[in-house]
Structure 1
């Protein structure tokens, strides 16, 4: 499960910085905003923009993978900060932040984090993009 940032604190100018064709597709006639998800891939338009993804293409989304060695990897960009949370169930209240208090700095293309204390059995992870 991946969560994106809200549009709070981001003006229309940031969202309008999209390429002209994307702005036209997302805003003109479709009533899309930064918090909407034009391509229905589960990632908000603003989150896709911040990550350098394509908000009108369903194959470009904020999705993490976890390797057998515990490395969790996700799309990122320089200047962004992320948190990683782990839970043993998907219920609210079961999530614990396992990344450093200052967050994880984004890198060009992708960023990763290894859960060095993964519990025995199953675990679920969330990568959060900070506002």
Structure 2
């Protein structure tokens, strides 16, 4: 979480529930770390989402875990895939989808992810839409780790 997500939790009960039920929550911002110290429950350190993603990609590259990328504009997604292919030559990318879709497309995307069953799904969609999608997919039985 970052400061913006904490603010969303104060105004959106659905987001608050999703965050509170998350398996892992990282402090993605210095303000969150500072606030945790001020409130008497300090977190060890800031862990930026991009840093965690890079660690998970490196781990997947080494251990053979499969990944699925979901989000961003199509051309950005394609450029990212080229960079990842270069930087993580053993990375198993079993699927990808841009982040521009209608509500009618959600079911097909969900089925694609469920059928391919990736170990990790990396989502590049704005909040809070990202959290709603993850929750919907998990509630439907998609068993991947979402980030």
> Which band: TM-score by shorter chain?
under 0.3
Greater strand fraction, Structure 1 or Structure 2: 1
Length-normalised TM-score, structure 2: 0.26
Length-normalised TM-score, structure 1: 0.27
Greater helix fraction, Structure 1 or Structure 2: 2
For CA contacts below 8 A with separation 6 or more, give which structure has more relative contact order. 1
